[in-house]
Chains A and B, each alone.
Chain A
Amino acid sequence: MELLGLPPATWLPVVFAGLMGVAILLYVILDGYDLGVGMLLGGAQDEGERDTMIASIGPFWDANETWLVLATGLLLVAFPMAHGVILGELYLPVMLMLVGLILRGVAFKFRTKMTPGSKLLWDRAFLGGSMLAALAQGWMLGSYVLGFQDSWAAHLFAAITALGLAVAYAFIGACWLVMKAEGDLQRRAAHWARAMLAFAALGLVAVSVATPLVSPPIFEKWFSLPNFMLLAPIPLVTAVTLVALWVALGRYPRPGDRWNWVPFAGAVAVFALAFQGLAFSFYPYVVPGSLTIWDAAAAPESLGVILAGSVFVLPMIVAYTAFSYWVFRGKAGELRY
């Protein structure tokens, strides 16, 4: 089937790159906040607060992690060559991330079912697992950005992005709590969000500056005319949003708990913008510097079969996900099963 006069082998990979991008972005936002809440458990003052924090993500985390499965799945099925290369290069951090995800996944369920004495232990496992997963993902990001270089400086860069992403997750997690928590916890969540925002912004600047400097093609892309003028809004809008959030978070929670969703929405916007910037930097490469999406794509007839299904299924997924967020809107306090 031709689209705009292009053969399927040309446009299908682009569509799938877009789908994968959306899946990754949704994953980073959705699991980002619940990993963030997991890390912020360290700041809870008692068991009651930990219960509330975990209850706030309880109905959602399963589905959130499914976006990771979809993103990896799409990479696997649409760009099998790239899947092998990327996961081969990232073998160790992927393993660490998986250990982290396993730990927190089971800790989440075991904590309410085991003897009361072991609950604190499982909560620590939840915190540790969340942190390990976040750091490992940040490490993967850094390593990917530099095209899997194996040098001292590259590892240092990856370590910085690991910290940066973990902090960014903690930031969006704190914003989530501003929306979902009440009273003292909500007040402190606003403080956490503000502190994390400062660090996350630093990390964002570091990555944004370092990426074009280490990669001439990316430098070329951003700083040539007319791209520079067209792209300037991305960093500008990001900067404005960050400053506005910083100012606003100082005044949370608002009287009557109005506008409690605004910080989270702002955080989502920042994540989306940063992701835009990254996506633009690398397109059309799926493995930086070596494989383009067309080199790595699976056979068009297979992609077509998947696309035909996803046109129907993805809107349904979005619809019932929205339904679930609507069902569990409001404060998290009383969620139990």
Chain B
Amino acid sequence: MQFAANITFHILFPTITIALGWMLLFMKLRFTWTRDGAWMELYRFWVKVFALTFSLGVVSGIVMSFQFGTNWPGFMNTVGNIAGPLLAYEIMTAFFLEAVFIGVMLFGHGRVPAWAHTIATALVAIGTTISAFWIMVLSSWMHTPADFEMRDGVAHATDWGAIIFNPSMPVRLAHMLLASGLTAAFLVAGFSAWRGLRGDRAPSVAKGLRLGVVTAALLIPVQIFVGDLHGLNTLEHQPAKVAAIEANWETRPNVPLVLFALPDEEARENRLEIGIPNGASLILKHHADGVVPGLNDFEGEHPPVAPVFWSFRVMVGVGMLMLLVSWAAAWRLWRRGEPGVWISCALVGMTFSGWVATISGWYVTEIGRQPWLVYGVLTTHEAASEVPASMIATTFLGYMAVYAFLLAAYVGTLYYLAGKGRKADVTVEGPGAVPARA
């Protein structure tokens, strides 16, 4: 639980930084090519957000690296030979790259030539992406373990290439990177819209809005397509999870797509079910008569149904909203050149929608794996630590308090920064501020 809370908290920040790093690079490059100061202004606003987000990611990440040992000793004892090298590579290839060059990126104005600063920005973006790569390798291996053998209850690697490119890695990585892109895009669009609504007519705000909306509108259809691939991949490797997502109890053809239901695990049926006939069969088997596995085939070995079912619906619902809002906004920007009040309000409302979708998606996949921690190899229960429950409960409460506070401070700071706008930029930064340089 504590670890889950920590990951939930941690996942928020890398989700933003992975894609925001690339967007910063885009802004920086646009500035270099167009010499338009508005791009630099945009860069300098978002680089602050990036720095803040990044450091929250770093500190919560440090906490996680310790919790592997303190809370999940069984995990490392059993699959440490495989998880270990993957984590080691993440630290060596990604963490240092990010951490060193973010220093150059933040403080390097005027100390290094402009091209070196651009390269530092690129290296930070590359670093965050490499980090995502390794962590998704590990995560997908835990879902679809491949190419290892058990000796005396301990997993040993047999083929590293196959471990890294395990069956679900490509779709999971793509899904996660796109999720990151959408989260960052809606964050940028949302804050730009908010500044626009408050009467900030700076060209950099309009550019930010356009960048965010266009990115979102381009990524969302790709994400829906990849999400579908991911679903089919999960059906192949983890049928119990898909059954829980669909709240489908019996293995049968012509399964409806359940839109709303209250899954009842005691009675093993759905109450108040509303569904589209043959829907699930069509989506999963691309055929109305397709046979879809049901939960009763996995009795005792399937995840808790309601959380998976609902998380999935939240994720898909938010995804649909994203499609609607981003396309409407893109259409309006294309026709009129400015978003208008309604679209702006919608974008402001969607500012943190990426977080909602990412977290619910993450719950679907992680809760959906239960009772397994490493699918078919190690259960969560076996991996848990024997530290007294009272101690875990106490530290858990402490963490929750800290996280709630940090999250509030983070969001508050973002709005404060955005509210300051560009006028205050000059006064607060003071004479030490280095002017935008070519």
Contacts and interface: CB of A to CB of B under 8 A. Distances in A.
Interface of A: 58-60, 62-63, 65-66, 68-70, 72-78, 80-81, 83-84, 86-88, 91-92, 94-95, 98-99, 101-102, 105-106, 108-110, 113-116, 298-299, 301-302, 305-306, 309-310, 313-314, 317, 320-321, 323-324, 327-328, 334-337
Main DSSP-derived SS at the A contact region: helix
Contact of B68 (A76, A102, A323): A76
9 contacts: A63-B96, A65-B99, A69-B61, A73-B87, A73-B91, A99-B402, A105-B55, A114-B416, A306-B89
B385 interface: yes
A305 B83 CA distance: 12
Contact of A306 (B84, B106, B430): B84
Nearest to A336: B432
Nearest to A23: B91
A155 to B, nearest CB: 17
Given A109-B52, A302-B157, A336-B434, A59 B106 contact: yes
Interface of B: 47-48, 51-52, 54-56, 58-63, 65-66, 68-70, 73, 76-77, 80-85, 87-89, 91-93, 95-104, 106-109, 111-112, 154, 156-157, 160, 385, 387, 391, 395, 398, 402, 406, 409, 412-413, 416-417, 428-430, 432-434
B80 A80 contact: yes
A302 B91 contact: no
B59 A102 contact: yes
What does DSSP make chain B's interface, helix, strand, loop or mixed? helix
A327 B112 contact: yes
Contacts of A63: 96, 99-100, 103
A324 B93 CA distance: 17
B107 A110 contact: no
Contacts of A58: 103, 106-107
A78 B13 CA distance: 28
Nearest to A64: B99
B131 to A, nearest CB: 11
A66 B99 contact: yes
Given A76-B76, A77-B88, A299-B156, A324 B66 contact: no
A77 B58 contact: no
B92 A309 contact: yes
Contacts of B60: 102
B95 A66 contact: yes
B104 A80 contact: no
B56 A106 contact: yes
Contacts of A324: 100-101, 103-104
A88 B67 CA distance: 10
A101 B76 contact: no
A317 B89 CA distance: 13
A251 B89 CA distance: 46
